[in-house]
Structure 1
Amino acid sequence: MESMEIDQNTAKDLLSHGAFFLLIDLPVGSTIGIDFSEYSVGVKFKGFKMIPPGLHFVHYSAVDRKFPTQTSPRSGFFHIFQPKEIYIRRWDGGDEDISEILLDPDEVQRYSDNLIGSLDQHLAPYPFSEYRKWTQLTNYIGVNVLNTLNPNCGKIRSVTQLVSLKYPQDIQPSESLPTTNRRLTVDNLMSYMEIEPDSRIKFAQLSKLPRLPEGATSSDLTKHCIDQSYTLDETLKRYEKPDDILGELQFAFVTFIIGQVNDSFDQWKLMLKLLCCSDAAINKYPSMYFNFINVLNLQLREVPEDIFIDIVDNENFLVSVLRDFFYNVFCNPNTDRKVREKAIVFKLHVTEKYKWDFEEEPEDELPVVVT
């Protein structure tokens, strides 16, 4: 994907209309980034300037106070910056995270008054060469999608946040017993932990959605196991319009690639399989599927090579779901012409670039009739 070099006129426009993000007191040696950029924090760093208005992802890893050469797991948050917005937060050394307490108005005004003066040299300009790539990979993450998916705490964390439940009396540890006799094992302990609810990304729970309508017959069961359009329709009910599901696909991709959230990778694969294996939906939502091909094509171009190899090697996942998708598009005579033409170009591209074979279906992937 081509990058955009900032020209003089664009620079002037961003200086007058771009937003600012300041993070006060972030420890030296930490890392911080916005979208696809990442920087090591020096003594002068205070934040970013010339941020193009719109959605952005700010991420950070604080240096470990006991082990200065190590940083904590990545955290981040999405924010829709307004033109000329000045967004200021302070680092909380006790919690080792961005403080939830907002700065008082006088302090905000003091920083604001110095943005163009003494503070300017402490602010890194937004990496505009990555801006086009960022907008193309997030163009369906609108306000509705962001509000639907964002954790209640507002933070995206690469490490799952767990909270303990109350232990049943029969597995309470006893300090008076030898270690070998204690009934509280690691497995017992983990079984009484759960994900902290406010930290959970609110992805569509695809495994919990119905696979077929009520009263379905045995023949319907076979049909809906092969064609997942019914489940896709149920998923779309959580959104205002069909294209919003592409926003969830992009949200999962970005929070995995940049936010380093493994659960997001799992969700991306589940959503990809749902979209590729929904035969009837391709005719029902032609515009959404036309846009889906664009989204997936861009994602495959931008996924880092080491991660891309893992995706392909993972039970040949991509080849398998794309084979299903191309079959559903090309074998249905009623497929929308624009979708068919877009799929032809996409298939040629991935076939030539990755040398994938979509024509011969492995025996262990042949359709199975469900009884």
Structure 2
Amino acid sequence: MEFDRQLGPYNLSHFEDWKRLSNFITKSIIERLEPIGGEISVECENDMFRNTPKTSMEEALDKQLKVGSSAKSGGKFQRKGCYYTSIPRVVKCKGMSGQELTSLNLDKTQLLETLLAKDYGGSEDLLLGELQFAFVAFLMGQSLEAFLQWKSLVSLLFGCTEAPFNTRTRLFTKFIKVIYYQLKYGLQKDRTDDTRPPLLDDSWLSTDSFLHYLCKDFFSLVLDGSVVDGDLLKWTRKFKELLENNLGWEFPKNSAVDGLYFEENDEFAPVVEMLDDEAYAI
């Protein structure tokens, strides 16, 4: 065809990488998440996240993403952000005792089940597709909004302690494979130029990052489990080796709380409140 002859050659060396980064992204997922007009732009994100609390890593990332972006003056932006699923960071329910509320926030399994039923129509692949969409939009489109959504979904899944073993073993096996290939791609140097840094910058390499804390607890949960699905165990070990080999991370066991391990000054550890067994009203 005349049109085909005008196209440049496809870079087949990246084809397998792209398949692994996007195998759950479908046309319906793109239509569901993409902003009005279909263009993902970082120009509107300053206003969207002006008052959003950020960690020091996210603030550094925010500054990095602003470099080179064009500044708009005068007129206001129409909202152009993606339509991501809202992921609550803290679960609050009326009528629950303090013990029940603490348990609900320590194990995000119930929140995961609620979101799957309410927002994803029961489809695990839709959730994984959104996870991949957010990662690609962050890595390729330099979108802070996408990074925060990716972080929220990763935090949700790594925050589940029951689902990986009982109700959602297959989902977690697929999730570990997804994040394994995401970080494997993001942390590798450019294949054509060994002097170029990885796509993910140094803020990812610190043991103070949220990802290190989440992985530390999840690895302890799975690798120390008495009965674990074979595929989940295999991919968890593979993911752990990737982080250890590429980042030099170590995952020692610390003081245990309900099977999870937290350091004394771990800002990412869940807050355990000792409340009376009376109803918790919000």
TM > 0.5 fold call: yes
Letter matched to residue 285 of structure 1: R
Cα RMSD after superposing both structures: 2.7
In the superposition, the TM-score normalised over structure 2's length comes to 0.70
2:87 matches 1:206? yes
2:229 matches 1:336? yes
Letter matched to residue 234 of structure 1: T
- Matched with 2:175 is 292
Question: Closer, same or farther in 2 for the Cα pair 1:141/1:345, shift >3 Å?
Answer: same
CA contact (8 A) 1:222 1:369 kept: yes
Structure ranking higher in strand proportion: 1
Letter matched to residue 256 of structure 1: F
* C-alpha separation in 1, matches of 2:229 and 2:95: 31
Distance apart, 1:123 and its partner CA: 2.8
Map of 1:43-62 to 2, 5 A cutoff?
Answer: none
- Matched with 1:315 is 208
Question: Partner of 2:25: helix, strand, or coil?
Answer: coil
Letter matched to residue 242 of structure 1: E
Aligned residue pairs, count: 224
Structure ranking higher in helix proportion: 2
Distance apart, 1:306 and its partner CA: 5.6
Partner residue of 1:215 out of 95, 110, 123 = 95
- Matched with 1:167 is none
* C-alpha separation in 1, matches of 2:162 and 2:18: 32
Distance apart, 1:334 and its partner CA: 4.1
Distance apart, 1:194 and its partner CA: 7.7
Largest Rg, 1 or 2: 1
* C-alpha separation in 2, matches of 1:227 and 1:194: 41
Question: Partner of 2:24: helix, strand, or coil?
Answer: coil
- Matched with 2:156 is 274
CA deviation digits over 1:30-61, x for unaligned, max 9? xxxxxxxxxxxxxxxxxxxxxxxxxxxxxxxx
- Note the residue ranges of structure 2 that are not aligned, 5 or more in a row: 48-74, 188-197, 255-262, 275-282
Question: Partner of 2:95: helix, strand, or coil?
Answer: coil
Q: Which of the pair has the greater relative contact order for Cα pairs under 8 Å at 6+ separation?
A: 2
- Matched with 1:261 is 143
Map of 1:168-183 to 2, 5 A cutoff?
Answer: none
CA contact (8 A) 1:162 1:195 kept: no
- Note the residue ranges of structure 1 that are not aligned, 5 or more in a row: 1-14, 16-113, 164-192
Partner residue of 2:28 out of 133, 137, 144 = 144
Map of 1:93-242 to 2, 5 A cutoff?
Answer: 114-115=2-3, 120=5, 122-160=6-44, 196-197=78-79, 199-207=80-88, 211-237=91-117, 238-240=119-121, 241-242=123-124
CA contact (8 A) 1:145 1:247 kept: yes
- Identity between Structure 1 and Structure 2 (%): 26
* C-alpha separation in 1, matches of 2:226 and 2:39: 46
Question: Partner of 1:159: helix, strand, or coil?
Answer: helix
Distance apart, 1:156 and its partner CA: 1.4
- Matched with 2:265 is 364
Letter matched to residue 348 of structure 1: E
Question: Partner of 2:243: helix, strand, or coil?
Answer: helix
CA deviation digits over 1:50-83, x for unaligned, max 9? xxxxxxxxxxxxxxxxxxxxxxxxxxxxxxxxxx
Question: Partner of 1:280: helix, strand, or coil?
Answer: coil
Question: Closer, same or farther in 2 for the Cα pair 1:220/1:137, shift >3 Å?
Answer: same
Question: Closer, same or farther in 2 for the Cα pair 1:289/1:357, shift >3 Å?
Answer: same
In the superposition, the TM-score normalised over structure 1's length comes to 0.54
CA contact (8 A) 2:243 2:249 kept: yes
- Matched with 1:353 is 246
